[in-house]
């Protein structure tokens, strides 16, 4: 489905398109690919879902969204899919995932809310819990404090494709 050239292209563009009039041509020059081939491949990768979105990647923190909460719930397995889909529809939710429970960690549903301050985030969570009828579920809010390392997508050598997601 994806070939080495796709990987090379993603590795190259994931750090950002050049800010010049013909950015795809510049990318192509670096990879010995025509501008048209770059565009065709990127179009296909987008259709195939390997590029989730293409555009301006903003820095929440710099734009005043300083309260970053990871919220976790302990949800019965049978409800998790429907609930995950429901939670994803709130405009203030930026991510929503299912992850496995562990002996020391009883939570299996995760969402992220980026807000301007804690009060706003907690009020949004209250609204979400009420609207979804899940106030009774075990739930924990983990606000972020220090950021030790943040890096966008990073793709390692081509023989060993490693791709990060540019999430949170």
Partner 1 sequence: MLNALHTRLLNDFQRNFPLSPRPYLEIAEQLGVSEEAVLSALSDLSEHDYISRVGPIIPPNQLGVSTLVAMAIPPEQLQRVADQISARPEVNHNYEREHRFNLWFVLIASDAAHLQRVLDSIDEETGYQTLSLPLVDEFFIDLGFNLDLPHV
Q: At what angle do helices 35-47 and 4-13 cross, to 10 degrees?
A: 90
* Residues facing 95 on adjacent strands: 112
The distance of closest approach from Cβ of residue 136 to partner 1 in the complex, given in angstroms and rounded to an integer, is: 21
SS3 26: helix
Q: How far is Cα 81 from Cα 87, in angstroms, rounded to an integer?
A: 10
Is position 132 an interface residue for partner 1 (rule: CB under 8 A)?
Answer: no
Q: Which of 52, 60, 59 is nearest to 114 (CA)?
A: 60
Is position 25 an interface residue for partner 1 (rule: CB under 8 A)?
Answer: yes
Residue list 57-86, contact with partner 1 (CB under 8 A): 57-60, 62-63, 65, 68, 70, 80-81, 84-85
User: Which one of residues 33, 114, 121, 124 is an interface residue with partner 1 (CB under 8 A)?
Assistant: 114
Is position 21 an interface residue for partner 1 (rule: CB under 8 A)?
Answer: yes
Is position 55 an interface residue for partner 1 (rule: CB under 8 A)?
Answer: yes
């Amino acid at each position: 489905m994806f070939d080495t050239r796709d990987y090379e292209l993603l590795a190259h563009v994931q750090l950002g398109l050049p800010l010049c009039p013909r950015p795809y041509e510049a990318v192509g020059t670096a990879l010995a690919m025509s501008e048209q081939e770059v565009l065709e491949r990127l179009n296909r990768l987008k259709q195939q879902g390997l590029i989730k979105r293409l555009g301006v990647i903003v820095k929440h923190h710099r734009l005043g969204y300083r309260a970053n909460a990871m919220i976790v719930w302990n949800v019965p397995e049978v409800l998790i899919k429907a609930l995950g889909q429901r939670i994803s529809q709130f405009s203030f939710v930026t991510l929503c995932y299912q992850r496995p429970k562990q002996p020391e960690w009883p939570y299996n549903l995760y969402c992220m809310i980026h807000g301007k301050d804690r009060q706003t985030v907690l009020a949004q969570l209250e609204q979400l819990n009420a609207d979804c009828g899940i106030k009774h579920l075990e739930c924990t809010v983990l606000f972020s404090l220090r950021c030790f390392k943040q890096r966008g997508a990073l793709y390692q050598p081509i023989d060993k494709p490693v791709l990060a997601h540019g999430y949170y």
